[in-house]
Amino acid sequence: MFICRRYRYFCKAPISEVFENKTRSDGSDLAAQISQLFHVLNTPLAQRLTNLDEELAAFPYINGKLFAELLPPASFDRTMRETLLSVCALDWSRISPAIFGSIFQSIMMKQNDAIWERITPVRRIS
């Protein structure tokens, strides 16, 4: 996975640590934490708050507007949080980036054909 290989942040850690350490076990604040993480990923380092939590500040800026769209508020519970944490614990680096790209593209094409302009070509993923 491009992000995993280049930045390490979408492998096992620290994203799972952020969700595990910074959210309540009942999942009630998970949506807010995900929203804040998306904001961080969409903000260039020089434009971030100077007092940003260290774990969040460690995440890179992901260009391409992938995290730019504000999503409607979500609601999570204990089971959903535990599921997310268990998925974060998997070793995603063994899965071909082309598979992730194909899944992502098929979902996004249904929503907006213009997203193709921002998708990273396979030659740049590996």
Please classify residue 28 by burial: count the beta carbons closer than 10 Å to its beta carbon, then call 0-12 exposed, 13-18 middle and 19+ buried: middle
Highest mean pLDDT among 72-76, 80-84, 100-104, 110-114: 80-84
Q: Is the pLDDT of residue 28 over 90?
A: yes
Q: How confident is the model at residue 12 (pLDDT cuts 50, 70, 90)?
A: very low
Q: How far is CA 34 from CA 19, 98, 108, 114, in A?
A: 8, 25, 20, 25
Query: For the segment 45-82, what is each residue's pLDDT rounded down to a tens digit?
Result: 999 999 998 888 888 888 767 788 888 888 999 999 99
Q: What is the pTM of this model?
A: 0.68
**Which letter does DSSP use for residue 11 in this model?**
S
DSSP H stretches of helix in the chain: 2-7, 15-21, 30-41, 54-57, 78-88, 97-111, 122-125
Mean of pLDDT over the chain? 78
Residue 60 tokens, joined: 């890179």
- Write down the pLDDT at residue 107: 73
